[in-house]
Amino acid sequence: MTIKEKQDEIIEEFSAFDDWMDKYSLLIELGNELDSFDEAHRKDQNLIEGCQSKVWLHAELNDGKIEFQGDSDAIITKGIVALLLRVLSGHTMDEILDTDLYFVDEIGLKEHLSPTRSNGLVAMIKQIKAYALAFKAKQA
Amino acid sequence: MTLDIRKIRNDFPILSQTVHGKPLVYFDNAATTQKPTSVIEAEADVYRKFNSNIHRGVHHLSNVCTEAYEEVRKKVADFINAESKEEIIFTKGTTESVNLLSSSFGGSFLKEGDEVILTEMEHHSNIVPWQLLEKRQGIKVKVLPVSDKGELDVEAFKGLVSFRTKMVAVTHISNVMGTINPIREIIELAHLKDVPVMIDGAQAIHHVPVDVKSLDCDFYVFSGHKMYGPTGVGVLYGKRKWLKEIQPYQGGGEMIDKVAFSGTTYNDLPYKFEAGTPNYAGVIGMGAAIDYLLTNDRESIWSYEHELFEYALEKMKTIPGIRFIGEAENRTSVISFLLGNSHPFDVGTLLDKLGFALRTGHHCAQPLMDKMGIPGTVRASFAFYNSREEVDRLVEALNRVGAMLG
């Protein structure tokens, strides 16, 4: 699936809910189901510290595609991390760098990606793109 | 006299709205309080009717505006029972008041090796300004620890005061735990060794009686926006004997007497500390907030708030997995808690979607969080426009949120 297709799929899944609490129940579920984070990667260099919640992010390059692992100490943040990884993990550097993440807006979670929210997610997306750039530079 | 909460709520237009489709419940009063219409109108009226730069004006508007501004100084002095209005310095808020004091008192009286005593429960605004002095002037900050219950140990305080101690700066009420500190005892003990005491009254000024003369504190600082007044205005109360002696904070504007390159002389109190055009509209708004508080019976406000706090505490105890942070014997207005193992951010986010405004995080008190071994708390803080019904709704919401977060 392309990044766009994945985003559209998520929008479709969330469109079933018009109550906030249902949306957040799904996010909590996604957070709980996120693949467990390899403890070997839980180190300071992988930590993105927001004022409210913390995010960990690890990246590896496999066959020209970046595989991400992520985690958070807050379950709602972790649910959003799960969505972001579902969309972006397993894609090439160029695909990731060219991505416009419109799904967050569409499913009504824009506030979590506001720079003032300080939950680590904005920095996490920056970090994902930074990994893509770095891997690309290494390959060139 | 009992308070008519429904009538009081009508005075605060912001409270009648819905948030995410739910009626707003505002329990973030320790961060800032809402404003009654009379305050909003008073500040707007400055701009509508008599806006003009204050002091030194010969024209009508300037005189009206200056009089309104100076009248508030008198009102504030009466409100906290200061000796005279010259002891009331207007600032931007509590934070600026502490910075003014640390900078000016420090510049005049502190030298390398001198010590300032703070407590472990201080807000960052009463920690960092003194740490700046550590760097700038080589003083030393000493910290009075907080017990697991969230109380200060007066005996330990005795041991901390020495001939090196030149200032004690302590909060009246903890912004995290609601602990009411034994400031009267602390002031008495410090004065036995001739050490002045600054009280951070940001969380106290609207919740408990404050009488600076009876407390005998040397300095008392607070913000307008936490007492139903506008943002951007605060107060530094100081005993005249100190304010006369300490150097100005910022230069320019109203604070001068005569300026010459051969040497400048400063204005009298309180103007010596009010450089530049002050936030006179905000000050006048704060005056309206004091008027508003005085139109209600203050004793009734205090007792209503405290009863509401105790009611909330009792009700919240029934929530499965709840853990209170800070259980001091003497506390009020603020309840910090954790829900099971849930992250405060998750609890706050879900509560927001249910229409509740609570604050989560470290509440600008990271040393206290470290002491308690937690990253943050969820904090409910009350004002006299809050009701028991709102508390009941919070308890219901917390049960729901707790079940969701598992």
A69, A90 contact by CB (below 8 A): no
What six digits make up the tokens of B108?
């005049």
Residue A91 confidence (pLDDT): 96
Q: Which of residues 307-346 of B touch A (CB under 8 A)?
A: 342-346
Boundaries of every domain in chain A: 3-139
Residue B1 has pLDDT above 70, yes or no: no
CATH class for domain A3-139?
alpha beta
Which domains occur in chain B, in start order?
A: 5-29+297-405 (3.90.1150.10), 40-294 (3.40.640.10)
Active site amino acids of B:
364
- A53–chain B Cβ distance below 8 A for any pair: yes
Cα distance between residue A88 and residue A96, in whole Å? 6
Residue B356 confidence (pLDDT): 98
CB B342: neighbour CB atoms within 10 A? 20
Angle of the A75-88 helix axis to the A20-33 helix axis, nearest 10: 70
Which pLDDT band holds residue A123 (cuts at 50, 70, 90)? confident
Predicted confidence (pLDDT) per residue in B8-53, tens digit: 999 999 999 999 999 999 999 999 999 999 999 999 999 999 999 9
Residue A135 has pLDDT above 80, yes or no: yes
Which one has a higher pLDDT value, B77 or A139?
Answer: B77
Cα distance between residue B91 and residue B275, in whole Å? 10
Smallest Cα distance from A40 to chain B, Å:
23
With contacts defined as CB-CB under 8 Å, which chain A residues touch B400?
A: 21
Task: Report H helices in B110-238.
Answer: 128-137, 154-160, 183-192, 212-215
Which pLDDT band holds residue B2 (cuts at 50, 70, 90)? confident
What residues contact B81, with CB distance under 8 A and at least 6 apart? B210, B211, B212, B213, B214
Terminal CA-CA length for chain A: 26
Cα distance between residue B376 and residue B325, in whole Å? 10
Q: Which of B343, B356, B377 to mutate to test the interface with A (most CBs of A within 10 A)?
A: B343
Q: Mean pLDDT across chain A, nearest whole number?
A: 90
Cα distance between residue B228 and residue B369, in whole Å? 28
Cα distance between residue B324 and residue B335, in whole Å? 7
Predicted confidence (pLDDT) per residue in B357-406, tens digit: 999 999 999 999 999 999 899 999 999 999 999 999 999 999 999 999 98
Predicted confidence (pLDDT) per residue in A62-121, tens digit: 999 999 999 999 999 999 999 999 999 999 999 999 999 899 889 988 877 766 666 678
Cα distance between residue B279 and residue B168, in whole Å? 29
Residue A125 has pLDDT above 90, yes or no: no
Q: Give the three-state DSSP class for A47.
A: strand
- A17–chain B Cβ distance below 8 A for any pair: no
What is the average per-residue pLDDT within B178-201?
A: 98
pTM of the model as a whole: 0.94
Predicted confidence (pLDDT) per residue in B237-263, tens digit: 999 999 999 999 999 888 888 999 998
Residue B14 confidence (pLDDT): 98
Q: Which of A30, A51, A53 to mutate to test the interface with B (most CBs of B within 10 A)?
A: A53
Residue A116 confidence (pLDDT): 64
Smallest Cα distance from A33 to chain B, Å:
14
CB–CB of B360 and A52 under 8 A? yes
3-state helix, strand, coil in chain A (%, to 5): 55, 15, 30
Q: Which of A42-51, B172-181, B216-225 has the lowest mean pLDDT?
A: A42-51
Cα distance between residue B381 and residue B225, in whole Å? 15
CB–CB of A76 and B20 under 8 A? no
